[in-house]
Amino acid sequence: MMKALIGNKKGRALFAAAIAATSVGALISTPASAIDGQQFVVNGGFDSSGANGELLAPSTTDFALTSINGPGGGTGNGSMYDPGRYVIGSNPNNFHSAWITLPEGNPMLIANGFESTNQKVWEQVITTSPCTTPGSLVTFDFTANAMNILSAEWVAANAPGGVAGANISVTINGVPLGASQDLTTSNPGNVVQFVGPVAAAASFDVAIWNNGTAYMGNDFAIDNISLVQRGDCAPPCTDVVHGVWFNYTGNSVGAPALNDPKWHALPATPGGQHDVDVRGFNKPYQVGTAKGKGDWFKWVDDGAKCAV
């Protein structure tokens, strides 16, 4: 957007002061804390668990712990056959006959999804903030092993048309991190990844959500949850001025048209200040006469914003 014209050698001192206060893309920044690659999740591999496979603090979940730490045999008794139940275990088939069989010794969070939305599967509040300067952004990289645990054999025998499966997403302080992902594979090594910037805060509430609502197939397991910082905190910055001063090098009785090709940008030093002395012509201006070369100035705002 083009700003107002400034003319007249009489106002040279005023003009010089004005351009000394302007610059091309000048920024003011504030340092922000940062530790690239720092791991923030505690017990993301579920190596520690409570009695009967309970999830330990600082992790929490909206799911209810199974009331039967083993095969349930049917719904309605609080076992893993009931939607909205979870357990920390290694072999899903130990808790539900329709689920896949995996070796013992690798604990994970096993869940039977709700039939409603807003299912918070896992949550941790990170209280050691890597980025606290107001206005800063920190990029987080969230990964986990996640899989659907409904066995292909059970699906073939009981739902030959297939099942909907589970869908998970990740939020930090309520803001989605990347896009949600479907869980269709039964591979324990399947990696899901969610990456994105998050505004600086004193703490970060990290949550995994299951968005699936199907009765069949909304069964999954999650392991090796990781949240690391990528790069430095992007510091906040204040947009001082973005644009360029132009000097008119032609002759004009009145104000020249803004699109006149005789407008020429004033050079700028590396620090951003424009050079007042480099003009088309430096003759004194006589009141009542046509303004000559070098008498007119204009400011062109380039519309640039502080990159974050």
In a domain, 99, yes or no: yes
Contacts for 149 with CB less than 8 Å, ≥ 6 apart: 92, 99, 100, 110, 186, 219, 220, 221
Same domain flag for 200 and 120: yes
Identify each DSSP E strand in 186-294 by its residue range: 191-199, 204-210, 219-234, 237-239, 243-248, 263-265
Q: Which of 234, 252, 280 is the last residue of a domain?
A: 234
In a domain, 38, yes or no: no
Q: What pLDDT sits at residue 268?
A: 56
H helices present in 136-190, as ranges: 152-158
pTM here is 0.68
Total domain count, the chain: 2
Same domain flag for 91 and 214: yes
Contacts for 212 with CB less than 8 Å, ≥ 6 apart: 113, 164, 165, 166, 167, 218
> How far apart (Å, rounded) are the C-alpha atoms in residues 40 and 142?
10
**Which structural domain range is residue 160 located in?**
51-234
Report which of residues 40 and 290 the model is more confident about: 40
Same domain flag for 211 and 254: no
- What is the greatest pairwise CA distance in the chain? 101
Q: What pLDDT sits at residue 232?
A: 82
Q: What pLDDT sits at residue 199?
A: 92
Q: Which of 234, 254, 287 is the last residue of a domain?
A: 234
Q: Is the pLDDT of residue 103 over 60?
A: yes
Same domain flag for 184 and 218: yes
> How far apart (Å, rounded) are the C-alpha atoms in residues 169 and 40?
18
For 49-71, write each residue's pLDDT tens digit.
999 999 999 999 999 999 988 87
Q: Which of 234, 260, 289 is the last residue of a domain?
A: 234
Q: Cα-atom radius of gyration of the chain, to the nearest Å?
A: 32
Same domain flag for 140 and 279: no
Nearest to 241 by CA among 30, 29, 26: 26
For 186-226, write each residue's pLDDT tens digit.
999 999 999 999 999 999 999 999 998 888 889 999 999 99
Same domain flag for 60 and 172: yes
Q: Roughly how many angstroms between the first and final C-alpha of the chain, as a whole number? A: 22
Same domain flag for 259 and 217: no
The 3-state DSSP class for residue 298 equals strand
Same domain flag for 199 and 287: no
Same domain flag for 99 and 221: yes
Same domain flag for 12 and 92: no
